[in-house]
Amino acid sequence: MKFFYTNTHEQHNPAFEVYDGGKRMPYLESPQRMQRILNALQKTDWAEIHPPRDFGLAPLRAVHSEAYLNFLASAFDEWRAADPEAGSSAEATALLPATFAAKRDQMPESILGKAGFFLLDLSVPIVRGTYAAALSSANCALSAAQAITENSSAPSSFISHPSSFALCRPPGHHAGREIAGGYCFLNNAAIAAHWLTQFGRVAILDVDYHAGNGTQDIFYNRGDVLTISIHADPSYEYPYYAGYATETGDGAGLGFHRNFPLPAGTGETSYLTALEESLNLIRAFAPAHLVVSMGMDIYKDDPLGTFKITRSGISEIGKRIAALKLPSAVIMEGGYNTDELGDNVVAFLKGFVR
């Protein structure tokens, strides 16, 4: 199984985030997460590490607005230029807004106004290396997508359902067409899925603990990409304002988006029931390719989750998705129990290894 990784992600390493209720705390989506996953994968005999290809900006422009991409590319330098007297403290090394856009009909000229327009919350501080890290993360996802299209003309006895893994950081599924949030800047899974539509219809299955609101935003009006998210009910959990069962798409996308919001404390039996319904929807859609937004914050001891999924349950989820026998690109999203993260990822991916 090919997996794609680059240490460029280390350039995005904010000193802090502002957590629920205004508490400043160390950034939970840390570079250490990737090292733990790498360590676990390198102990297997089936994980091939590859650097990502540079796909340029065109695949990003197909998913995100030009104004948003320009903001991500220039925000840090513009912010520091606006306050040249800023010191070198942790507070002065990350851009976060104090005011957020309640209405999005007008974009301000000031950098702090732009930050409030494009950033959804206080978990997406922008530091000097954020844009470079986000670009490399998107290229990992695109490389994984390309990998599952290779050898597509080979005899079925040789290869039937190739799979790949993108070790993406920052994650992506909360990033919408022109907004960052929930540790996410570029929507890696959406970028990969849109790129794959040149070969036919695509399904995205999001199994992160939190709703894939950004992916929903991007594909909500499209019928060529089926998007499904199994997650904690947003009535009590982030992102709060999207991810409800009543949201099923609009226009050409009506019926091609499904949310499965689950209550706090959901265990494996209930989760697997929702998964089976999701897999049946994918079978009926008959996509050419599958993109999986894989979040390990469904694990029972994750600090940001309430689900009660064991490692054995995570392994079963991976096996059932792999049993679709579709060319599949698995994209790393959340998972914040750093001590257990690597082994959980391996448990999930084993189902895709033939």
Helix runs in the chain, H state only: 32-42, 58-61, 66-82, 111-118, 130-147, 188-196, 213-219, 268-285, 311-322, 338-349
Query: Would you give the DSSP letter of residue 303?
Result: T
Nearest of 230, 176, 171, 228 to residue 204 by alpha carbon: 228
Q: Which residues does 277 contact at the CB level (< 8 Å), separation at least 6?
A: 260
Please count the residues of the chain.
354
Rounded to whole angstroms, the Cα distance separating 289 from 203 reads: 7
Burial code (b: 16+ CB inside 10 Å, e: under 16) for 283-296 equals eebebbbbbbbbbb
Work out the angle between the directed axes of helices 66-82 and 111-118 (0-180°, nearest 10). 140
Nearest of 314, 325, 327, 322 to residue 352 by alpha carbon: 322
Specify whether 161 is catalytic: no
Backbone angles phi, psi at 119, to 5 degrees: -110, 130
Rounded to whole angstroms, the Cα distance separating 56 from 69 reads: 13
Half-sphere exposure of 150 (CA within 13 A, CB side): 11
Work out the angle between the directed axes of helices 130-147 and 188-196 (0-180°, nearest 10). 40
Determine which helix (DSSP H) or strand (DSSP E) holds 171, and give its type and residue range. none
Place of tokens 């794609």: 4
Pick the catalytic residue: 64, 173, 174, 194?
Answer: 174
Cα→Cα distances 97→17, 180, 183, 342, Å: 12, 12, 15, 33
| Residues with catalytic function | 174
